[in-house]
Amino acid sequence: MSGLAVAPQHTVVHELPGRVRCHAVRIRSDETYARRLVALAESDEQVTRVRVVRSAASVAIEWAAFLPPADARERLVQLLRKADSPLEAADKPVRPSRPGRGPRLAVVGLAGIAAFVARLLGFAIPTPVGALVILTASVPIARRAYHSLIVDHRLSLDVLDLTAITLTTLQGSLLAPASIIGLVEIGEAIRERTARASGRELLDLLDSISEIAWVVREGERYQIPIEQIRRGDVLVVYPGDRIPVDGRVLEGRALIDEHELTGESIPVLHEEGELVYASTLMRDGHLHIAVEQVGGETQAGRIVQLMRKAPVHDTQIENYAGRIADRIVLPSFLLAGAILVLTRNPTRAASILIADFATGIRVSVPTTVLAAITQAAHAGVLIRSGRALEELAAVDTVVFDKTGTVTEGLPAIVDVHAVTSDVSVKEVLQIAASVEQRLTHPVAEAIVRYAAERGITPGRRSRWHYDIGLGVSARIDEADVLIGSDRLLERHGVDISSIDGADGAGGSRIYVAVDGRVRGVLSYADLVRTEAKHVIAELRDRHGMEIHLLTGDKAETARAVGHALRIPLVNVHGDLFPQQKATVVQELHRRGRRVAFVGDGINDLPALAYSDVSVSFGDATAVARETADVVLIENNLAALPTAVSVARDGLRLVRQNIGIVVGVNLLTGAVATVRGLAPTMAAVLHNGTTVVTAVNGLRPLLRNERHTRSVDDRSKEKSLE
């Protein structure tokens, strides 16, 4: 919906669920007003992101919940009106901050140390002071326990912890409850460190586009903010610009790089009457475009909406471990109650409650997760959350996008041969490099690069003409030279019918003609990454993965790449639109597969969103990189099997730690039940187990440190040699 007046001098120009972009004239001229507007939006708990661009008089706001359009507009109006009045908004309001864990941990820790030292020295601890310290520090646990009992109507670990803290405090103990609170808070702090927000961070695909566009009105060209573009406008787009709309070419011809949207690895020639799409990059030429779709109505905008409808996986491995511990809450209460009734000894009952699995799991599991994530980072892999680590360990199917993922994403020369006997292959390559030098077309750059790698220096060319989408004509040493497609040669009357042979592996041809006669042919293709075959073999043979390949490129090209990588043809899918890639992932889910999708472009976003684990590269498009659960920082697939190994080893260590915690605490509980155990001793055994498992959870870091040292030692030995 566009063009809706919401307040004087304010107009909504673009809407998506949970997001509104508004044009406000005053933003451009009044810096103070713009600053107040940002401050007000940031102080609103429901606002997750605000972006103001003063040069375009634009403000875009995203909400935590997907508000109905009418409600979103109303809230936006309120913010705009408040910003009009300096009295209603401080220039720098601050979001209400949550109380930090640091002060609480410090209080509890100091209190526990003081209590321990005082007991060793024989001093008594003032009960009111100790109780006040424990009361203050246990407030977060009490809140969670209250929510669990009153709102969720269930017994949880927090209820168990709070009961044990209360009983031991009432008995005059300070060390036991302080240690419980301290370890619980440490575990929660680590858990928050490893948890990513459940809502996906969605970037506006148009954020990569310039905020200003050239529009033709009444025969004159004007620069306007892209928010003011309307259907029926005529835009002029120049080389290096990203097209801001979906529209039809009225005039001109241009090479457009569409690989981020369609997966097509080679720039596509577009001429009069053809459709072009928002977010694609113009490589060469210029176009007059009649606007047909804007904002959320474009192909790129529809991809964003599809992503927003995708399921959001918010389970975390720490929650999974917590649910295991929750199962013993009721039995612990029942056993402690029975002991209290039979012995009338609250100390023995408190010991049983202390010997639970909660604290050990709360500390050891997130510690292990954090260690595994850190180990992965040392290996060049960013794993964003505990949930991502858990899901990656469970993956049994990996789906790769083709262009820019298993291939380099750029054309490269794969073969050069001479057609006639009077020229050599080296001469054909030198002629081609001489004509193509200093052109910015990807194929021209590939030719010059290929020649340079073979020590061939381009010669001089005199006059030359670049025909967009076809090739180049030039004059070299009194000879007329054509370098380009079959269409270029046919246009100049050069016969190519005698040139035989098809280009395998999805390759394409560039012809070299001199004085009206074909002298050579260069074949080029989007090469498969050097590491891709080994990585896919390792995922398939070592980790038991099922491998699929998806692409928006031609089916025959997809099959050629799939064959080179030994991927079964039944698992190779070509000619796919972005929505169809998501459909393939959903079909795999229906078969019960756990799917990781690896991609780097805008056209991969729906599949990334619908996969169990989304994987991208450090140099991928911003929206793909920020959406991904796992990022291969070095832009190399070789890190992917390592990430899988780290995730699976981490999960095995988690299960091992849970077993240790359960075993020791069951033994402690049994002793406390049969013979009785002082709360302090129960706390020592219980917390000692927690420390042991936490240290055990750090083993991935120790292994990584030993590996780093061994690599450094080998490097030193080689340098000494």
* Residue 421 token pair: 């006997």
8 A C-beta contact, residue 87 and residue 55: no
8 A C-beta contact, residue 28 and residue 77: no
H-helix or E-strand spanning residue 632: strand 630-632
- Answer yes or no: is pLDDT of 468 > 90: no
For the ranges 209-218, 455-464, 538-547, the lowest mean pLDDT is seen at 209-218
pLDDT band at 688 (very low <50, low <70, confident <90, very high): low
Say how far apart CA 78 and CA 347 lie, in whole Å. 58
Secondary-structure class of domain 205-298 per CATH: mainly beta
Q: Where in the chain is the domain with CATH 3.30.1360?
A: 4-88
- Strand-pairing partners, residue 52, are 59
Q: Show Cβ contacts of residue 229 under 8 Å, excluding neighbours closer than 6 positions.
A: 213, 215, 235, 244, 245, 291, 294
Q: Where in the chain is the domain with CATH 3.40.1110.10?
A: 408-528
For the ranges 160-164, 433-437, 583-587, 634-638, the lowest mean pLDDT is seen at 160-164
Mean pLDDT of the chain: 75
* Strand, helix or coil for residue 334: helix
CATH topology of domain 408-528: Calcium-transporting ATPase, cytoplasmic domain N (3.40.1110)
* Secondary structure letter of residue 216 according to DSSP: E
Per residue in 182-211, pLDDT (tens digit) is 766 665 665 555 444 333 333 444 445 556
Say how far apart CA 66 and CA 202 lie, in whole Å. 13
* Secondary structure letter of residue 589 according to DSSP: H
User: Mean per-residue pLDDT for 480-495?
Assistant: 90
Q: Where in the chain is the domain with CATH 3.40.50.1000?
A: 367-406+529-644
- Could you tell me if residue 219 is left (phi over 0), alpha (psi between -120 and 50 degrees) or otherwise beta? left
What's the pLDDT score for residue 533? 93
What's the pLDDT score for residue 483? 94
Using a pLDDT cut of 90, give the percent of the chain over it: 19
* Strand, helix or coil for residue 467: strand
* Secondary structure letter of residue 54 according to DSSP: G
Looking at domain 367-406+529-644, which CATH architecture does it have? 3-Layer(aba) Sandwich (3.40)
Smallest CA-to-CA distance from 584 within 573, 594, 592, 600 is with 573
Q: Where in the chain is the domain with CATH 2.70.150.10?
A: 205-298
In Å, what is the CA distance from 340 to each residue of 603, 665, 666, 683, 686? 64, 19, 18, 19, 20
* Residue 622 token pair: 């911003």
User: Mean per-residue pLDDT for 636-665?
Assistant: 85
Say how far apart CA 134 and CA 184 lie, in whole Å. 13
Q: Show Cβ contacts of residue 487 under 8 Å, excluding neighbours closer than 6 positions.
A: 470
**Matching CATH number, 4-88, of 3.30.1360, 1.10.540, 3.40.50, 1.10.287:** 3.30.1360
* Strand, helix or coil for residue 480: strand
